[in-house]
């Protein structure tokens, strides 16, 4: 195997590459010995896998021989070394060659490793970087330089034209996905949120416009992306149109529970479209909103008392903890108590659902964790794109993330929930005789 250098070549950063990109770049330029060991190990394993493949290929065709018993299919050196861009960095591999000497040209076979197709120059997972960089404000023309800074190697195959074609492809995928049938779907839970990104949507002057995201938990406990649409986070009409669209495409059975931030216009829309769906306010959002009403010196103590509410083992204990919170803080911080009290019932709805699911349904973390980096980006940059393209990019981020989403703990409880079984303090009750 050809030796490779451990040095990662530094490249000048284009002015339009955002600060986050530069931080990532610094991480790659300052690789530790452990990072280099991981890269070398990945390279050796990849080369070993290719070598194993050709040995298997030769074995499979060992029966092809001439009259003297000599094999037609034999090793024939290597192709020139080439680099494959991967999440571990640039890996140099040498593809072994095989020659088939069969006189019958039509019967000749050719070796191509399945793990590295002949013309592949990047691992498919790197395409996940494109939506991230795009939404961070990197312009199409700067993608190659940005990726080179991130990965420590020249990202061949990521030309501006390639990025344009990918964006067009993903836009069509999003449009088709947004029209798919939802007939026979039944989501036990849905998580909703409005995510602000630095994109040009319908009204470029209105910074309150954002991307509305809906995720759901299916019958088998899998998490699934349901909708990615632009609108206004606080607008009842935006959410109403989204929910009506889901219903018109076949989502007739209402979810058992919806989880989201109390500031959303979603709740008024939900009561019109799916009036039987229970509501659960996100404890992460609520905690932040309550703590904003008190001095920083008080926040650690108050946060601990808020945790005592939603970490209680029973609803009765949670109610008692909330009453204690009122006694301690209402006299001095009435606004903090008011923000907590107004959503008292819908903050404790999770107690009527399986205890195994509580960690999943007390917050909007499934959405937050997926789009955390993008969510924090409110300022607009020259790299921001059109509404259709930005929606497609957010859609691709969700689709890629969906592949890694874990099933809900105790997912077998979902069937019981959908069958109408009742839960009290997370425990399933005996069915009525």
Instruction: Measure the CA–CA gap between 362 and 345, rounded to whole angstroms.
Output: 13
Q: Are residues 388 and 247 in the same domain?
A: yes
What whole-number distance in Å separates Cα of residue 44 and Cα of residue 1?
8
> Do 116 and 219 sit in the same domain of this protein?
no
Please, which residues have CB within 8 angstroms of residue 416's CB and are 6 or more apart in sequence? Answer: 354, 428
What are the CA-CA distances from residue 360 to residues 20, 191, 194, 257, 277 (Å)? 29, 10, 19, 12, 17
Angle among Cα 258, 195, 202 to the nearest 5 degrees reads 115
Residues 255 and 384 in one domain: yes
Q: Are residues 206 and 333 in the same domain?
A: yes
- pLDDT given for residue 25 in this prediction: 44
Q: Identify whether residues 266 and 412 lie together within a single domain.
A: yes
Query: Is 101 domain-assigned?
Result: yes
Q: Tell how strand 257-260 and strand 278-281 pair up.
A: parallel
Q: Give whole-number Cα distances, 262 to 116, 266, 277, 281, in Å.
A: 49, 9, 15, 6
Rounded CA gap, 393 and 73, in Å? 46
- How does DSSP classify residue 65? B
24 and 107 in a common domain: yes
Are residues 102 and 188 located together in one domain of the fold? no
Assess if residue 195 is contained within a domain.
Answer: yes
Q: How many domains does the chain have?
A: 2
pLDDT of 151: 55
Distance CA 82, CA 306 (A): 57
**Token output for 166:** 């990918």
Partners of 189 in the beta sheet?
217, 257
140 found inside a domain = no
Residue 89 lies in a domain: yes
Q: Are strands 423-424 and 223-232 parallel, antiparallel or unpaired?
A: unpaired
Helices (H), 18-142: 19-29, 33-60, 129-135
397 alpha carbon, distance to own chain's centre: 5
Instruction: Strands of 199-296 (E only): list them.
Output: 209-217, 223-232, 257-260, 278-281
**Nearest C-alpha neighbor of 121 from the set 149, 150, 75, 162:** 162
Both tokens assigned to 293: 């009403």
**From the centroid of its chain, how far is CA 360?**
16
What are the structure tokens assigned to 179, written together? 């029209």
Whether 269 is in a domain gets the answer: yes
Residue 86: which domain range?
19-122
- pLDDT given at position 117: 56
User: Which tokens sit at 414?
Assistant: 């979902």
Question: Is residue 151 within 8 Å of 90, Cβ to Cβ?
Answer: yes
Of 100, 122, 144, which residue is a domain's last?
122
Give a yes or no: residue 400 inside a domain: yes
Same domain, residue pair 39 and 101: yes
Q: Tell me, yes or no, whether 76 and 222 share the same domain.
A: no
Same domain, 340 and 265: yes
pTM of the entire predicted model? 0.69
Give CA–CA dist 274/163, Å, rounded: 40
Tokens matching residue 204: 């470029």
Please report the pLDDT score of residue 3 as a whole number.
41
Give domain status of residue 128, yes or no.
no
Would strands 89-93 and 82-86 be described as parallel, antiparallel, or unpaired?
antiparallel
DSSP reduced 3-state for 375:
helix
| 184 shares a domain with 89 | no
- Residue 151 forms part of a structural domain: no
* Inter-axis angle of helices 143-151 and 160-177, nearest 10: 100
Query: For 332, how many CA atoms within 13 A lie in the half-sphere containing its CB?
Result: 8
**pLDDT value, residue 304:** 95
Q: What is the pLDDT along the chain (433 residues), one digit of tens a residue?
A: 444 443 333 434 444 444 444 444 444 445 556 566 666 776 777 788 788 888 888 988 888 888 888 898 999 888 888 777 665 567 788 888 899 988 887 778 888 776 665 555 555 555 666 676 666 556 666 666 666 655 555 555 566 676 777 778 888 999 999 999 999 899 999 999 988 765 544 454 455 568 899 999 999 999 999 999 988 878 899 999 999 999 999 999 999 999 999 888 999 999 999 999 999 999 999 999 999 999 999 999 999 999 999 999 999 999 999 999 999 999 999 999 999 999 999 999 999 999 999 999 999 988 887 776 555 443 444 444 567 777 888 888 888 778 778 899 998 999 999 999 999 999 999 876 5
Residues 108, 182 within the same domain: no
Gap between the Cα atoms of 21 and 109, Å rounded: 45
């Amino acid at each position: 195997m050809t030796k490779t250098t451990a040095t990662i070549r530094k490249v000048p950063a284009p002015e339009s590459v955002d600060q986050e990109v530069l931080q990532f770049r610094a991480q790659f330029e300052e690789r530790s010995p452990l990072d280099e060991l991981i890269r070398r190990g990945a390279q050796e394993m990849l080369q070993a896998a290719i070598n194993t493949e050709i040995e298997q290929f030769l074995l499979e065709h060992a029966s092809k021989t001439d009259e003297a018993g000599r094999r037609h299919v034999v090793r024939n050196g290597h192709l020139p070394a080439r680099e494959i861009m991967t999440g571990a960095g640039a890996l140099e591999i040498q593809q072994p060659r095989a020659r088939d000497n069969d006189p019958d040209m039509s019967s000749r076979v050719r070796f191509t490793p399945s793990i590295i197709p002949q013309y592949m120059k990047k691992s498919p997972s790197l395409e996940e970087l494109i939506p991230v960089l795009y939404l961070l404000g990197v312009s199409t023309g700067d993608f190659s330089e940005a990726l080179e800074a991130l990965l420590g190697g020249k990202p061949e195959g990521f030309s501006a034209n390639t990025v344009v074609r990918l964006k067009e492809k993903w836009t069509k995928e999003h449009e088709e996905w947004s029209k798919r049938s939802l007939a026979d779907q039944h989501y036990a839970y849905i998580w909703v949120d409005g995510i602000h990104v630095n994109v040009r949507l319908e009204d470029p002057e209105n910074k309150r416009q954002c991307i509305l995201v809906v995720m759901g938990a299916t019958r088998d406990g899998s998490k699934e992306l349901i909708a990615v649409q632009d609108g206004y986070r606080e607008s009842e009409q935006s959410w109403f149109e989204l929910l009506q669209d889901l219903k018109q495409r076949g989502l007739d059975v209402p979810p058992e529970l919806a989880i989201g931030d109390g500031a959303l216009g979603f709740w008024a829309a939900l009561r019109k479209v799916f009036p039987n769906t229970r509501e659960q306010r996100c404890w992460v959002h609520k905690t932040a909103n309550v703590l904003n009403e008190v001095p920083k010196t008080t926040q650690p103590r108050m946060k601990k008392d808020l945790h005592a509410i939603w970490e209680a083992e029973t609803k009765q204990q949670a109610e008692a903890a909330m009453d204690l919170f009122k006694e301690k803080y209402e006299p001095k911080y009435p606004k903090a108590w008011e923000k907590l009290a107004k959503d008292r019932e819908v903050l404790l709805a999770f107690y009527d659902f399986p205890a195994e699911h509580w960690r999943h349904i007390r917050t909007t973390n499934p959405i937050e964790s997926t789009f955390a980096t993008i969510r924090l980006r409110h300022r607009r940059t020259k790299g921001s794109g059109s509404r259709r393209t930005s929606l497609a990019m957010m859609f691709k981020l969700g689709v890629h993330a969906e592949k890694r989403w874990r099933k809900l703990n105790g997912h077998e409880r979902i069937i019981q929930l959908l069958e109408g079984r009742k839960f009290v303090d997370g425990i399933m009750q005996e069915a009525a005789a």
